[in-house]
Amino acid sequence: MVVGGVEKIETFLKKHTECRQELSELVREFETSQFVDPLAVKSRYPSSKIIDGRIAVFKIRGNRYRLTARMAYNTQVLVILAVETHSDYDARRLR
């Protein structure tokens, strides 16, 4: 997949350097993977949450952080929408 929005990770890592390796590996996996549908994402990342078939939320570092991405299966493009702490994710989701 083509991965967009990587700058959001770099911004996030300025405050949360402890998850640099895990996020780098996740982006590398995205770049070398092809997901044909939401079931393929759930198969590879069983703890991920799929919202409306196109938004995927991935747990990072034992669920302390969340990465939210929009996935376009037909064009194989993944765009990172947000990388945030679990509490920030919950607060944003409840607005």
Mean pLDDT calculated for residue range 33-43: 96
Cα separation, 48 vs 42, in Å, equals 6
Q: What is the pTM of this model?
A: 0.92
What residues form DSSP beta bridges with 71? Answer: 78
Number of independent structural domains in the chain: 1
34: domain CATH number? 3.30.2310.20
- What confidence score (pLDDT) does residue 95 get? 62
Q: Residue 26 above 90 pLDDT?
A: yes
pLDDT-based confidence at residue 91 (cuts at 50, 70, 90): confident
pLDDT at 93: 72
Helix 6-13 with 20-32: angle, nearest 10 deg: 170
* Residues spanned by the domain of 6: 2-94
